[in-house]
Amino acid sequence: MNNYTEERVNSRVINEAADWLARIHGKALSEEETRAWKQWLKQSPEHQRVWSSAEQLAHQFGRIEPTLGISVLDRPRTGISRRKLLGIITALTVMPSATWFGIQLFRANTFNGYRTATGERREVLLADSSLVVLNTASALDVKFNGEYRSLQHLSGEIYVKTSSDNVELAKLPFIVETENGRLRALGTRFAVRNDEFGTRISVFEGAVEIVTKDTLSTVVVESGRQVMFTSRAVGELTPIPVGSDAWKDGVLYAQGMRLADFTKELTRYRVGLLYCSPAIGDIPVSGAFQLADTDKILQLLADTLPVKIDTRTRYWVTINPL
Amino acid sequence: MPPDAIYHQQFDSLYADHNDWLQGWLRRRLGDRSTAADLAHDTFLRVWAKYRSEAQLQLLEPRAYLTTVAKRLMINHCERQSLEKAFIEALAQLPEPAVPSIEEQVIVLETLHELDRLLCELPPKVRSAFLMSQLEGLTYDSIAIHLQVNVRTVTRYMAQAFRQCLHLMLAGD
């Protein structure tokens, strides 16, 4: 979908946005840089409009499975240079009407969907400066209106760090809707994971209130605690295991985890099939593993445990006893 | 005569005088009669839209003008085909569980077309760097190694790609 605007956006703002984007994707900004970036964003509605296009672009990339995207978008080109040709006939371009622009912009500003492919991780800065990290194979819609800040968590796992930098927006309740119920952030840092068993909420800082969807039971989860819940029931509050949010830094952390469970966790980050033979399912695995390269993790398992990796194809891998 | 009627009349005669010729011109280049007819039709639609948006349009060299428009549509058409071919080939390479449903395929294909439009003008190395970062999530260090350039160059490539995408997104085609 094209994001047209009525008047031309200042090239300087676009260039500055591009420089910020190139820095942000390169490495995490320091606190000072983050402040400078926020200052930049606050300068004018035009700055925010350019940034919302950048978010839209990220959203489009998020829809594409990486391998597929590379083979299609990086395919060898025929070498036709369109630039000269386009230069001659730019005058022919037909622009859609102003009414249509208005609607597109309105929608782009109030509703945003984000999605990650398997193995992908994505950070999203929301309009109120809150940070959301999407783990592998996750989907999220963001809706901010005059009454609340709302995230529709559709699948997978997200990490949220709410912000009160924007005084106006910070007054609005911060809500996460999941298929099993509604979460209200009373504090600042938490993670939500949806899987076939239910929704798990882990609170790292502050507190989060759960209201289950069908039974409307209310439970407050305090900092350092996690709990599973379904639309009808809330489980037992337990301490958060060490490293359970390590994924947001691209790390899978295991401390005596059963190989069967470890393998299951790993499949979330890999396209294709990955099986662990039941005979070796109980072997304990410990360590911090870089999720960026799951092949390397498998190699590490083979190097350190009495197992071998049988690869039939890149997408069909079995872990067997030696 | 009201201005609209004049436009219609001028356009009618443009169509009558040149449609057959344009279809022939396209057919010789594409070797396909029905695609040629489609693209000729699209060409006249573009010209008509231009007629309406500009208060006047004097065509001194109507055939040169028509072929300029048609050439552009032809390139779009070829790029679309090459993209779709690459898409189908890439789909066939995916393992069964990773193949998107038909509905998803339509959305993915449309998104690919839009991204392709944003990226097609970029130099190959800039495009590759950008895709490695945005699709594969590679760090600038790894991209630098892949492309055998230094990290500062990768950062420059990234800024160039973002600049181009934002310009096209915000200014329209």
Mean per-residue pLDDT, A144-173: 85
> What are A169's two structure tokens?
């927006």
* Interatomic CA distance for residues A284 and A262, integer angstroms: 9
A122 pLDDT more than 80: yes
Query: Do residues B119 and B127 lie in contact, with contact meaning Cβ atoms separated by under 8 Å?
Result: yes
Mean pLDDT of chain A: 81
- What kind and span of H or E run contains B25? helix B3-30
Q: What is the pLDDT of residue A19?
A: 94
Q: What is the pLDDT of residue A77?
A: 66
Contact flag A21-B162 (C-beta cutoff 8 Å): yes
Q: From the candidates A13, A25, A313, A317, which should be mutated to test the interface with B, based on the most B CB atoms within 10 A?
A: A25
Q: What is the pLDDT of residue B82?
A: 83
Among the partner-chain residues A26, A53, A86, the one whose CB lies closest to the CB of B170 is A53
> DSSP state, A234?
B
Q: What percent of chain A has pLDDT over 90?
A: 31
Mean per-residue pLDDT, A133-149: 84
Among the partner-chain residues B87, B98, B111, the one whose CB lies closest to the CB of A63 is B111
* Interatomic CA distance for residues A138 and A116, integer angstroms: 5
* Interatomic CA distance for residues A311 and B92, integer angstroms: 20
Number of neighbours of residue A252 by Cβ within 10 angstroms: 21
Residue of chain B minimizing CA distance to A82: B121
Judge if pTM exceeds 0.90. Answer: no
Q: What is the pLDDT of residue B4?
A: 67
Among the partner-chain residues A15, A61, A72, the one whose CB lies closest to the CB of B90 is A72
Q: Which residue has the higher pLDDT, B68 or A81?
A: B68
Contact list in B for residue A19 (CB cut-off 8 A) is 159
Q: What is the pLDDT of residue A224?
A: 93
B23 pLDDT more than 70: yes
Contact flag A21-B158 (C-beta cutoff 8 Å): yes
> What are B1's two structure tokens?
């005569």
HSE-CB of A43 using CA atoms within 13 angstroms: 15
Number of neighbours of residue A262 by Cβ within 10 angstroms: 22
Tens of pLDDT, residue by residue over B122-133, are 888 999 999 999
Q: From the candidates A8, A9, A64, A68, which should be mutated to test the interface with B, based on the most B CB atoms within 10 A?
A: A68
A1 pLDDT more than 70: no
Contact list in B for residue A74 (CB cut-off 8 A) is 127-128, 131
Q: What is the pLDDT of residue B1?
A: 52
Quote the ipTM score. Answer: 0.74
Tens of pLDDT, residue by residue over B110-153, are 889 899 989 988 888 999 999 999 988 888 988 898 888 999 99
